[in-house]
Copies of this chain bind each other. A is one copy, B any other.
């Protein structure tokens, strides 16, 4: 199922070259104030159009409220937000039907859906779908109120100086990966449930819904595997649960402990690279040379932060609702 959440539940729908992509959000508190303007900044951040290394495909991406909004407030009924696909050039893809692009979902989609998948531009698997996630994130952030969710690039191609990382890719005429960190401050302690609904379980579940993510780590993460216990443990300083260090990244036993929530994700290099590659032609059954046409990002990681914030905010909004920390009818 392409849906996630218990009390704040989001479903994303659509295909890259279909009429539209969008999101259905069930569980938005009635009365939450919302306007198209609220979406502008995050939608724009996702486009990444001004950054070196991001795709030239341009969409207006104006949010069309189909349901659940009335007189500038959430009604309490499911909210549907659509984004039209205007700027599509399907011809790019149809010519290459039998030649799955390396690193893309073309081959698995074909295997799973028996050839009925919408293959144009990656269809339902396209990163285009993340605009729906971003829209859900805008709504979720409103629910979070003063809780701040901020994601930023830590490194590109191993370089903390991001310009340098991008230049490596440009020089190599190739695409490149990166690492993104998310920090959430202001969270109450006690969110999450032991084991299967641990905060890490829920966040990781949501994070891996973002295309191109290959890893996630909380607090010290993989570095913790090389630490001694006394190094990793965070000393509790007061009854609010504040710790001196934060190797746990704000989650212990699957539950938030009131400190800053910190986690990082690994983003693989954009699958579409200008370089020549080998792939299969499933009609001939032979491998053949492949080189990407069309519009693509040099470094998809650049566009990930706002999407990461969005899924994080969605998970946290759900948890806040579950622990009664936010009301069902909003007081604007």
Contacts of A236 in B (CB 8 A): 100, 102, 107, 279-280, 287
- A275-315 interface with B by 8 A CB criterion: 275, 277-280, 282, 285, 287, 301
Looking at chain A, what size class is its interface with the partner chain? 35 or more
A267 to B220, CA, bound (A): 11
Verify A11–B30 contact, CB threshold 8 A: no
Contacts of A111 in B (CB 8 A): 189-190, 241, 255, 257-258
Contacts of A14 in B (CB 8 A): 66-67, 80
A328 to B211, CA, bound (A): 24
Verify A195–B253 contact, CB threshold 8 A: no
Which of B113, B232, B257, B268 lies in contact with A268, CB distance below 8 A?
Answer: B232
Verify A266–B224 contact, CB threshold 8 A: yes
- Evaluate whether A70 and B228 lie within 8 angstroms (CB atoms) in the complex, with A100-B236, A107-B236, A214-B217 already known: no
Which of B22, B77, B125, B219 lies in contact with A124, CB distance below 8 A?
Answer: B77
A238 to B322, CA, bound (A): 32
Verify A256–B108 contact, CB threshold 8 A: yes
A5 to B235, CA, bound (A): 36
Verify A202–B205 contact, CB threshold 8 A: yes
Which 4 residue pairs are nearest across A and B when measured between Cβ atoms?
Answer: A105-B253, A215-B217, A229-B273, A175-B229
29 A-B residue pairs with Cβ-Cβ distance under 8 Å, sorted by A, are A2-B194, A2-B196, A11-B26, A12-B78, A15-B67, A15-B70, A18-B70, A31-B113, A70-B118, A71-B116, A108-B257, A112-B190, A114-B330, A157-B226, A158-B225, A174-B228, A176-B228, A177-B226, A179-B225, A204-B207, A204-B208, A214-B217, A214-B221, A214-B222, A227-B269, A228-B269, A236-B287, A239-B280, A324-B327
